Amino acid sequence: MTLWKRLFTNNSAPQARERLQILLSHERQVLGGEDLLSSLREDILAAVAKRVPCERDSVKVRLERGAPMSVLEIEVEIRGNVDLGMTKAA
Amino acid sequence: MAKIITVTSGKGGVGKTTTTAALGAALARTGDKVVVVDFDVGLRNLDLIMGAERRVVYDFVNVIQGDARLPQALIKDKRLESLFLLPASQTRDKDALTEEGVDKVIEDLSRHFDWVICDSPAGIERGATLAMRHADIAVVVTNPEVSSVRDSDRIVGILDSKTLKAERGETVDKRLLLTRYDAARAARGDMLKTEDVLEILSLPLLGIVPESPDVLKASNYGVPVSIHDPDSAPARAYNDAARRLKGEEIAMDVPKQKLGLFSKFLRRAA
């Protein structure tokens, strides 16, 4: 809303509308993203745990959002030295 | 099997309990068997709005804990044959409602009623998620005001993730009920218009309940507003909304107060 409009009209509803639209588009992204990350984390945990013993807390999933591209960072800690021979056996 | 409706909003004080009582009475008036269930443990008020506060003997928590049977806790409405109330408990123990307990009670109720209407507590804590768990239809009560619209948006997200329907990969049928609406202020640009709220929340509209002194008056008497003075503007809005819930197609408008000759004269004189 331009300064002109703000000074010369006393309609407050357009302000409310604009603020809500901006706020909610942001909140939907963040809160929706939370759900996406937690389901990704569950999927990764299930996939890794099928091959290597792995605890729930040792899977970390982070999402760095950027304009040209976003980076999904996955870190899985596994106790001890992983025996690579396991992949052949499985 | 009953249709299960959850009346929810996130924000407090927007009219969830008023709406639960009004829709319950409006549906019961058409002859359907209706039970309204208060999920606000510790802060029950549906009993008061329904005018049944002095007849509460057993409550929801008593039934879950096995201290009473469900029929003992149900209170029959004084005015409508087919309307019943299951009051919440006034205990301060927040965990008194258990998931299994609620499942069992809702299952029993839905075998005997056409409509089970769950009055959700404000917030997004346990009580609110338990109230929405079984919902087929969620009535999202919203005031045309920024904080209420924001909280409704949050509740919509939770309805899409934390209900039994969501867990089964289905979606809850969500409807917006706009309350405390002042058409004159919206026309002047001082209040969000219906179209604004609909566009922001993108939910189908169940009804528009105008701001009206009749709502407070009905609560003073302990009578659901939809049956207190059926010609009043909020009563007509709630009765229309109830018919829409039953699948009838009714043109959407903001019911206006019908003025008698005398008040028309007074208004002109003022």
For every residue of A9-75, DSSP letters joined together read ----HHHHHHHHHHHHHHHHHHHHHHHHHHHHHHHHHHHHHTTS---GGGEEEEEE--SS--EEEEE
> Does the CB of A31 have a partner CB in chain B at under 8 Å?
yes
Whether B203 contacts B172, CB under 8 Å: no
Return the higher-pLDDT residue of B64 and A86: B64
Mean pLDDT over the full length of chain A: 79
Tell me what the mean pLDDT of segment B221-229 comes to: 96
Q: What would the 3-class secondary structure string for chain B be?
A: CCEEEEEECCCCCCCHHHHHHHHHHHHHHCCCCEEEEECCCCCCCHHHHCCCHHHCCCCHHHHHCCCCCHHHHCEECCCCCCEEEECCCCCCCHHHCCHHHHHHHHHHHHHHCCEEEEECCCCCCHHHHHHHCCCCEEEEEECCCHHHHHHHHHHHHHHCCCCHHHHCCCCCEEEEEEEEECHHHHHHCCCCCHHHHHHHHCCCEEEEEECCHHHHHHHHHCCCHHHHCCCCHHHHHHHHHHHHHCCCCCCCCCCCCCCCHHHHHHHHHC
- With H, G, I as helix, E, B as strand and everything else as coil, classify residue A76: strand
Q: How far is B185 from chain A (nearest CA, A)?
A: 9
> Does the CB of B188 have a partner CB in chain A at under 8 Å?
yes
pLDDT value at position A40?
82
Mean pLDDT over the full length of chain B: 94
**Residues A35, B161: C-beta atoms closer than 8 Å:** yes
H or E stretch covering A83: none
**Which of these, B259, B11, B4, lies nearest to B141 by C-alpha position?**
B11
User: What share of chain B in percent tops pLDDT 90?
Assistant: 89
> Does the CB of B156 have a partner CB in chain A at under 8 Å?
no
**Residues A11, B189: C-beta atoms closer than 8 Å:** yes
Per-residue pLDDT tens over the stretch B160-211: 988 999 989 899 999 999 999 999 999 999 999 999 999 999 999 999 999 9
Tell me what the mean pLDDT of segment B209-231 comes to: 96
Per-residue pLDDT tens over the stretch B1-11: 899 999 999 99
pTM of the model: 0.81
Please compute Rg for chain B using Cα positions. Answer: 18
Tell me what the mean pLDDT of segment A74-80 comes to: 86
> Does the CB of B184 have a partner CB in chain A at under 8 Å?
no
Per-residue pLDDT tens over the stretch B66-82: 999 999 999 999 999 99
Residues in chain A: 90
pLDDT value at position B132?
97
Q: Which residues are CB-neighbours of A38 under 8 A, at least 6 positions away?
A: none
Q: Which residues are CB-neighbours of A9 under 8 A, at least 6 positions away?
A: B189
Q: How far is A80 from chain B (nearest CA, A)?
A: 37
